[in-house]
Structure 1
Amino acid sequence: MVDAKSLRLFLPRQIRELPADLVVVLIVVAATNAAALLPVVRETPIRIPLGLVFLLFLPGYAFVAALFPEASERSRSGDVTDGSTPLGTASPTGIERGALSFGLSVAIVPLIALLLDLTLREPTLTSILIATSMFVVLLSIIAGVRRWNLTPERRFTIPYRTWIESGRATVFESNSRGTVIVNVLLIVSVLLALGTVSYAIALPQDGERFSSAYILTEDDGELVTDGYPTEYDGEDAQEIVFGIDNQEHRTVEYTTVFAIQEVEVQNDETIVVEQEELERFDAELAHGESWHHEHEIDPPMTGDDLRLVWLVYLDREPPEEPTLENADRSVHLWIEVDE
């Protein structure tokens, strides 16, 4: 029976000898794209830690890996096993690579966004994610090729097996039972602290959850919150743009009822005398998405006390008699229509 080790021999040498650190880089890139783009996964908290690692570490690490494929001189000499060497050697050590990765990532990601802004004019988070992913994958391939061209003794490798064995020995093979207990408690405390911080970042505050509805007009090709059409002659229809922003930190189905109302003001109270529904709009938006709907306004009523209302309902069907009071969100516009 053929085992997994035998099947591995059928793979090309480059794949079999692919450095473990570059494999992890490619896995994190794929996981980040899945967490950001897949409809179900992108709504889970996993996108927060993956996004932080992807933006703040991977671009710089791939750049350093492509630039320095060799191990540091002291690591090759065998004086140390953790890859640490004094500053000033030809190739950076593991600790130096980590520090450079953070610093370079902070510089590289804004440069990628700037290049996209110069080429696409309106870069989105998705385009920045894809461009950064291509940058990391390309440099990881270059780093892998450059390492393959070196002898095994000169290649940079992460001694993860040594680290694991050293950590296990430090935690569980101490001569003192008290030291072992302290080490275990320290590891648990660090994990709890990291989990608490990640949970606080991933879980938004209640005040940050909201949906906004608004109306816009077009002025020289741009949408502005000004110049609303308020006077009609009963003949020509006028256009207006209705918009919704989703900041609910979840996907929401919006149903909007567009209606016209004839109102009267009695004792400082606005009373709806007559209401006529004109149109309904449906939109499903993920968190952070915006939706604009351009439509015409051709009022079927005449008078001076008329009000256009857009009544928005979240994840539910509008009631039989939609009103400003029972709507989840609303926006209105006072108009006058000549007879």
Structure 2
Amino acid sequence: QERFHVEFCLKLPGWGGSTLNKSLSIILLVSVIGSLGALGYAIVTPKPGERFTEFYILGLGGTAQGYPDEFVMDGDKLVLVRYNGDETQQATSDSGRVILGIINHEYETTTYLVKVIVDEEPASIYFDKAKMGEIGPIELNHDEKWEYEIGFAPHHVGDNQKVEFVLYKSEERCFEASAHLWIDVKGQG
């Protein structure tokens, strides 16, 4: 029985040359395929971007205004807090309040600690219905956000007191970032 069949004869130009030409052609082909493979791998598995932590303070309205800027003390007790120097935005309180925010962009779970320093002295922090010297540990996954209202109080009367919110990274207490605002503290009367 005779079957129908087709034969193809493929001739590559220059393939009939020397063994050296054939070897170089194979090496070039393998190099191109390897380069395409490496490029594909680089595209599929990109390197992480810049590693950093966002650290910020906001006013009580959740914006970059409405910060406490004037405190009134009676002796060593805080009796009044004004926000943005506005007589209508004031509160009888034991602390000035801000919103503190941290966003982890470190591409790994990171632990943070926050302290507040007023006029170069550590200050008590009012957070989660408690008075404490620091907030932490705060453990955040990559791209996780931590944003809460906290309070602080000055220690003494005086103008132009710097309030520093200091962020430490990890439990080794390595300085990471700080944010600050300026306050005036008046005596009552």
What TM-score results when the alignment is normalised by the length of structure 2? 0.62
2:104 to 243, 246, 249: 246
CA distance in 1, matches of 2:100, 2:148: 5
CA distance in 2, matches of 1:191, 1:230: 60
What is the deviation of 1:253? 1.0
Local SS of the residue matching 1:232: strand
- Are 1:284 and 2:139 counterparts? yes
User: What amino acid is the match of 1:216?
Assistant: L
CA distance in 1, matches of 2:38, 2:58: 48
Partner of 2:115: 257
What is the deviation of 1:287? 2.0
| Residues 255, 317 of structure 1: 8 Å contact kept | no
CA distance in 2, matches of 1:191, 1:215: 47
Partner of 1:60: none
CA distance in 2, matches of 1:310, 1:238: 13
Local SS of the residue matching 1:327: strand
**Post-superposition CA distance 1:298-339 (Å, at most 9, x none):** 333222132211111112433xxxxxxx83200111111222
| Residues 306, 335 of structure 1: 8 Å contact kept | yes
User: What amino acid is the match of 2:150?
Assistant: H
| Residues 60, 67 of structure 2: 8 Å contact kept | no
Partner of 1:194: 40
Local SS of the residue matching 2:39: helix
2:66 to 217, 227, 231: 227
User: What does 1:158-197 align with in structure 2 at a 5 Å threshold?
Assistant: 178=22, 181=26, 184-197=30-43
| Residues 214, 331 of structure 1: 8 Å contact kept | yes
Partner of 2:164: 309
**Post-superposition CA distance 1:244-301 (Å, at most 9, x none):** 122222221111112212xxxxxxxxxx4xx133231121122222211211233332
User: What amino acid is the match of 1:250?
Assistant: E
CA distance in 2, matches of 1:216, 1:305: 19
Partner of 2:56: 214
Local SS of the residue matching 2:142: coil
**Post-superposition CA distance 1:189-213 (Å, at most 9, x none):** 32122123345xx2135xx222121
Q: Given the superposition, is the C-alpha separation of residues 297 and 257 from structure 1 closer, same or farther in structure 2, using an over 3 Å criterion?
A: closer
Local SS of the residue matching 2:123: strand
Structure 1 moving runs of 4+ over 4 Å: 176-180, 182-186
Q: Percent identity?
A: 28
User: What amino acid is the match of 1:230?
Assistant: D
CA distance in 1, matches of 2:115, 2:183: 18
Q: Which has the higher helix share?
A: 1
Which sections of structure 2, spanning at least 5 residues, go unmatched?
A: 1-15, 73-77, 80-92, 125-132
| Residues 115, 122 of structure 2: 8 Å contact kept | no
CA distance in 2, matches of 1:203, 1:312: 27
Which sections of structure 1, spanning at least 5 residues, go unmatched?
A: 1-175, 262-271, 319-325
What TM-score results when the alignment is normalised by the length of structure 1? 0.36
CA RMSD of the aligned region, Å? 2.8
Q: Which has the higher strand share?
A: 2
What is the deviation of 1:186? 4.3
Local SS of the residue matching 1:332: strand
CA distance in 2, matches of 1:184, 1:327: 50
